[in-house]
Structure 1
Amino acid sequence: MTDPPGPARRATILHADLDAFYAAVEQRDDPRLRHRPVAVGGGVVLAASYEAKWRGVRTAMSGREARALCPGLVVVPPRFGAYLEASRAVFDLFHRTTPQVQGVSIDEAFLDVGGLHRIDVPPAAIAARLRAQVRDEVGLPITVGVARTPFLAKVASRVAKPDGLMVVPPDDEEAFLHPLPVELLWGVGEVTARRLHGYGLVTAGDVAALPQQVLVGLLGPAAGHHLFAVVHGRTPERVVTGRARGSIGAQRAIGRGPHDDAFVRAALLGLVDRVGRRLRAAHRTARTVVLRLRFADYTRATRSRSFAHGTASSEELAATAAHLLDEASALVRDRGLTLVGVALTNLASDAVVQPTLDLAAAGRGGLDAAVDAVADRFGTRAVTRASLLRPGEGIAAPLLPDDLA
């Protein structure tokens, strides 16, 4: 990080990260939850507001443990439709800011504003304006880090949270990075951090003082080379745009069981319906269905199955997901299921589809299109599987007598 300053060393990368996203949406939509500790989930915490985080509540913690740490915790069920709508509104603002947007997840992205230097304000001012737009137009807090590389921008946003803005000038990168604890470095998880601590390495500066081969010897080739590049500012300087999405998924925390088999199956099929709509809205097909399970002891398991050709049919996707769940039934019974998820991978464009010949399948595509159209016009809860309805929900109508049918 000793190169002379110049055009290539300007801080023009923004990392924009919504704060406690799911919980913030709940606090935005329900004024009674504002400034209170909120957890989204139930049996397992999917997200926590900062008021809850400051009391020790963390994602993936059991609801019982979270309530013990924070007696005043308000637990609300997830509303994934609301989160997706909020994400779309925020990403619209990202794309209004610059065409160079690299989405990382539903609630964060990198923005390259280097090409705007002749037609817009400086990057720090762009970041401040973006934060104000997200607050005013979407009603959510967002933290933005500004730096020369995506990695440094990501670390800057971590340091600035919550609801902050931090700029790392190229000449001050070492002064910013080296005092930070290794846990804040992007790519250093709990296991790597513990290993580094075991060798007395606490800060990024401690790591930067070691030769590259020593780090390789401590952590292995991949992690050692990566961490050496990280602490010396040698990570890629460009955001990656135009990359096709690799998967579409959704998950649902269902709390600690035991759970009825029909309940788990209904939860899974509801997720399949959701990701199927997203798949078709993106004009994609999927060739692989992945079932994801998490158990009461926090262990995980996955099962997957691939088709000979890509499909966007909810019927095919649901049948495959249900079959995978049946295959994992012994694990579900023995270890106590707390979360179920489904992902569609091996995605491709639906411009050319090679369907499997099935003479009895006429009209199924029309059914999917009709259900999608109703969901688009009236909301995703307008049409749902009857097995997902609780007692008293939906519309009950008496069957006509045989002579009037």
Structure 2
Amino acid sequence: MGQGDGRGRTVSSVDADDTGTRILHVDMDAFYAAVEVLDDPGLRGLPLIIGAPDGRSVVSSASYEARRYGVRAAMPVAQAMRLCPTARIVMPHFHRYQEVSRQVMAIFESFTPLVEPLSVDEAFLDVQGVRRLWGSPSQIAALIRARVSEEVGITCSVGVAATKHVAKMASTVAKPDGMLVVAAADTLDFLSPRPVRAMWGVGPKAAEALEARGIRTIKDIRDAPSEMLDRAVGAALSARLVQLARGQDARVIETDRVEKSVGHEETFEHDILDREFLRGELLRLADRVAARLRRAGWEAGTVSIKVRFDDFRTLNRSQTLAEPTAVGQRIGESANALFEQIERRDPVRLVGVRAEKLRPAGGGGLGLWDDDEDWRRVEGAVDDAVARFGNATITRARHLGRDDGRGAVQHPKAHGVD
């Protein structure tokens, strides 16, 4: 979810100068909220918070009406409701978002085969090779916006530029429901006044380090001594930021993006101190992650966990596996080993398990001995039972009878692996 609320929006006309451009960045406007309005028009114009209504969950998305009150993604729902007491809370429907996303991506692919999805609601397109069919990049952008509106019923914003970085920044400036064209010759003028926080890839810590040294705009990056930048963010990121600040970005459209991770998180209704209970929850989440991996035909090379405490401090730990796996027991053991490395014993608000560095299942073959053979057979039988009878019928024995009022709110976190 973008953090902007639509104020300061800048747009171009369809006949704007698009000389030297070839890249479009198309971003759906408040996508989750827009899909909910699409399915329930009575929500139109209302401040919407997409999340669980228990107040312990976090905001997945919000309509622009809610964002103008300061509501942001990843903010606790309770805090969001204090900022916008009149907001309507709507439970997320992730399968519906995936369905609408497929409709949108199909429209993109009808214009060019060079489409790089970044998430369910945004993608890069290279339109250089289809100009004779559809017109100039700005004309193609206008056609795409019209078709998404007419055929899907939601709006999108488009940045048109010579590079991916500038196109992504331009689409953000144009939101909501706008298009901004940055001709190649205008790139530096467009970039110069933008804050360093607006750069793609600059996180909060890097931004704070730069701002502490008086580097607040992209022009400041261009003008700053390289030694100062190196001290602020390290030599590697410093060199990359200087290139981007000069409008240099050689990245091309990647149509065969490798899925990066699959994960599940759980937010508890009450903070949990019982570490045995938390270990059981990590194992349960690992089983869910593994089941998704098996359905998608992937194995994980790395396991990571997320632990958020009652003061909202969040710790992440990861471990590379000796052999890639889609076995829940193995992923769960790794998750619990990582959990034991965390010395802090404060009450826990959220836990999560994620499988990373994915590769096609069976890519490495099996050795003479398969230590996971028994678990693989058990989990295969579970998959068969779930396919026949549904998820609610099968669980580990340790999870039976655990209705202790924890009121967990589960948040599936997967990137295209369905």
Does 2:85 correspond to 1:65? no
- Look up the match of 1:143: 157
CA–CA distance in 2 between the matches of 1:347 and 1:256?
A: 33
CA separation of 1:374 and 1:269: change in aligned 2, threshold 3 A: farther
Contact 2:27/2:156, CA 8 A, preserved across alignment: yes
CA separation of 1:275 and 1:358: change in aligned 2, threshold 3 A: closer
CA separation of 1:167 and 1:388: change in aligned 2, threshold 3 A: farther
Return 5+ residue gaps in structure 1 as ranges. Answer: 1-8, 376-380, 392-405
Spell out the pairing of 1:100-111 with structure 2 (5 A cutoff): 100-111=114-125
Does 2:220 correspond to 1:206? yes
Contact 1:37/1:50, CA 8 A, preserved across alignment: yes
Contact 2:283/2:328, CA 8 A, preserved across alignment: no
Q: Give aligned-pair identity as a percent.
A: 39
- Look up the match of 2:34: 24
CA separation of 1:293 and 1:119: change in aligned 2, threshold 3 A: same
Over the aligned positions, Cα root-mean-square deviation in angstroms equals 3.5
Q: Secondary structure at the match of 2:224?
A: coil
Return 5+ residue gaps in structure 2 as ranges. Answer: 1-18, 405-418
Spell out the pairing of 1:55-204 with structure 2 (5 A cutoff): 55-204=69-218
- Look up the match of 1:337: 348
Contact 2:273/2:346, CA 8 A, preserved across alignment: no
CA–CA distance in 2 between the matches of 1:108 and 1:257?
A: 35
CA separation of 1:190 and 1:345: change in aligned 2, threshold 3 A: closer
Count how many residue pairs are aligned between Structure 1 and Structure 2: 375
CA–CA distance in 2 between the matches of 1:265 and 1:164?
A: 47
Q: Secondary structure at the match of 1:27?
A: helix
Aligned partner of 1:348 among 359, 364, 375 = 359
Per-residue CA deviations over 1:155-194 (Å, capped at 9, x if unaligned) read 1011111222111111111222212222222223333333
Q: CA deviation at 1:270?
A: 6.6
Aligned partner of 1:327 among 340, 344, 363 = 340
CA separation of 1:256 and 1:364: change in aligned 2, threshold 3 A: closer
- Look up the match of 1:14: 24
- Look up the match of 1:311: 325
Residue type matched to 1:327 in 2? E
Q: CA deviation at 1:348?
A: 1.8
Q: CA deviation at 1:351?
A: 4.6
- Look up the match of 1:6: none
Q: CA deviation at 1:70?
A: 0.9
CA separation of 1:257 and 1:169: change in aligned 2, threshold 3 A: same
Contact 1:314/1:368, CA 8 A, preserved across alignment: no
- Look up the match of 1:358: 373
Contact 2:267/2:349, CA 8 A, preserved across alignment: yes
Q: CA deviation at 1:243?
A: 3.8
Q: CA deviation at 1:79?
A: 2.9
CA–CA distance in 2 between the matches of 1:163 and 1:89?
A: 18
CA–CA distance in 2 between the matches of 1:388 and 1:35?
A: 44
Q: CA deviation at 1:52?
A: 1.1
CA–CA distance in 2 between the matches of 1:220 and 1:309?
A: 33
CA–CA distance in 1 between the matches of 2:191 and 2:234?
A: 23
Q: TM-score, normalized by length of structure 2?
A: 0.76
- Look up the match of 1:37: 47
CA separation of 1:193 and 1:347: change in aligned 2, threshold 3 A: closer
Contact 1:14/1:127, CA 8 A, preserved across alignment: yes
Tell which deviates more after alignment, 157-166 or 360-369.
360-369
Contact 2:21/2:182, CA 8 A, preserved across alignment: yes
Contact 1:304/1:324, CA 8 A, preserved across alignment: no
Residue type matched to 1:343 in 2? R
CA–CA distance in 1 between the matches of 2:105 and 2:115?
A: 9
CA separation of 1:123 and 1:279: change in aligned 2, threshold 3 A: farther
Aligned partner of 1:216 among 230, 253, 257 = 230
Q: TM-score, normalized by length of structure 1?
A: 0.78
CA–CA distance in 1 between the matches of 2:190 and 2:149?
A: 27
CA separation of 1:81 and 1:168: change in aligned 2, threshold 3 A: same
CA–CA distance in 1 between the matches of 2:94 and 2:159?
A: 27
